[in-house]
Amino acid sequence: MGDWLATLRRKADLRERAGLRRELRPRAGDDALVDLAGNDYLGLSRHPRVREAAATALDAYGLGATGSRLVRGSTDVHTALESSLASWLGAEQALVYSSGYLANLGAIRALCGPNTLLVADAHNHASLIDGCRLAGAQTVTYAHGDPADAARLLAAHPGRPAVVLTESVFSVDGDLAPLAALHAAARTHGALLLVDDAHGLGVIGPNGAGGVVDAGLAGEPDVIVTATLSKALGGAGGVVAGPAALVRHLVDTGRTFIFDTALPPVVAAGVAAALDLARDGDPLRAVLRERAAAIRDTCRAAGLAVTDPAGGVVSVEAPSAEQAWAWAGACRDKGVAVGCFRPPSTPDSRSRLRLTVNAGVPAADFARALEIIVEVRP
């Protein structure tokens, strides 16, 4: 095989020179950084009711699920969570996975036959991209957020079964997909619409039910919703929601469901408690919207290129990958955690800071964090 370790070292050196090195930065439980990097949008991960529900489940079930869902991993906690998620999302049924990534891989594969066409937004998350690749179906990409371009691609392949795939709130720039128009384009051509609502669930829509509900598409027979439970719900896991026949198919045939150890009951219980809080969390969502707008307005006033947030994600462009890394490091040195997104994590090869709102951060800390981000810019 030759000196394969030398090859890896050369590749690492090239990434270092390009400013694309990644580092693991473990944090302690009492970490004092102001969090503008994580996805705990509503600040629920440490809520007393969430922690109490998790502790109760820990006493009842122990640490792990002890098996896959079809062996010993299904508990009444999982069933209750799936019922709550289906009700919240307005879907016929829901199925919980151990991660949102696996939920996307499983859902896309389940929707693909020998001749299926996958029509994907150019800015889709890596889990949707990988789901298309692993499904083995032909994939075509439409211009970001452009229903007319999606319709053009569908029209170019008449008579083929097809699935249009999009995020609701996009994970890098935080913009909102035109879901109603995408659904209309898909339905006109007999296609399904799969929406990854990871950054919309808990954040937008009535009672925080997400982008699909907000677009009036809940319960439509040609709409499938996927999401992670690790963002606004502050936990872990994923969900696929839609018609009962789809859930049946996933349970019977879905490899990322059948062969994966189940989400630990302790996490499922905590997520269920967070869901109840999120459903009644309009005051928290109001704080989130105010803070997202404050980030946008403060950055623009400082002459920075910044996106318009549809939810809790705000993207601030950096001059280069190296400067994005240095900027994030300078923020961290001043006590503020920010996201640093560089290729290949960005859909357009431009580096940026990704700032995410946590409604649980004290107001004074949030205001000071914004000052620091502007002070230490490149």
Domains of the chain are 23-42+282-375 (3.90.1150.10), 48-279 (3.40.640.10)
**DSSP 3-state of 257:** helix
Q: What is the DSSP string of 68-102?
A: BIIIII--HHHHHHHHHHHHHHT-SEEEEES-HHH
pLDDT for the residue numbered 19: 83
**DSSP 3-state of 323:** helix
Question: What are the beta bridge partners of residue 167?
Answer: 196
211 in Cβ contact with 174 (< 8 Å): no
Nearest to 236 by CA among 44, 71, 56, 106: 44
- Which tokens in the block code for residue 64? 């792990």
Whole-number mean pLDDT of the chain? 96
The values of phi and psi at residue 171, to 5°, are -75, -25
Within the chain, residue ranges assigned H as helices are: 4-17, 48-61, 76-89, 100-110, 126-135, 147-155, 179-188, 211-214, 244-253, 255-258, 265-279, 282-301, 321-333, 363-375
pLDDT for the residue numbered 48: 98
pLDDT tens-digit series, residues 18-29: 888 888 888 888
CA–CA dist 234, 50 (Å, integer): 9
Mean pLDDT value across residues 48-66: 98
The amino acid that residue 128 corresponds to is L
pLDDT tens-digit series, residues 286-341: 999 999 999 999 999 999 999 999 999 999 999 999 999 999 999 999 999 999 98
CA–CA dist 15, 19 (Å, integer): 6
Does residue 9 carry a pLDDT above 90?
yes
The angle formed by the CA atoms of residues 164, 88 and 142, to the nearest 5 degrees, is: 15
273-285 burial, b for 16+ CB within 10 Å, e for fewer?
bbbebbbebeebb
97 in Cβ contact with 240 (< 8 Å): yes
pLDDT tens-digit series, residues 156-182: 999 999 999 999 999 999 999 999 999
CA–CA dist 231, 313 (Å, integer): 11
Q: Are strands 336-341 and 34-36 parallel, antiparallel or unpaired?
A: parallel
266 in Cβ contact with 256 (< 8 Å): no
Mean pLDDT value across residues 196-221: 98
Burial category of 15 from C-beta neighbours within 10 Å (exposed 0-12, middle 13-18, buried 19 and up): middle
180 in Cβ contact with 216 (< 8 Å): yes
Question: What are the beta bridge partners of residue 241?
Answer: 94, 225
pLDDT for the residue numbered 24: 85
Q: Using CA atoms of 42, 367, 375, 30 in order, give the dihedral in degrees to the nearest 10.
A: -60
Mean pLDDT value across residues 101-118: 97
CA–CA dist 305, 296 (Å, integer): 9
pLDDT for the residue numbered 107: 98
Mean pLDDT value across residues 253-281: 98
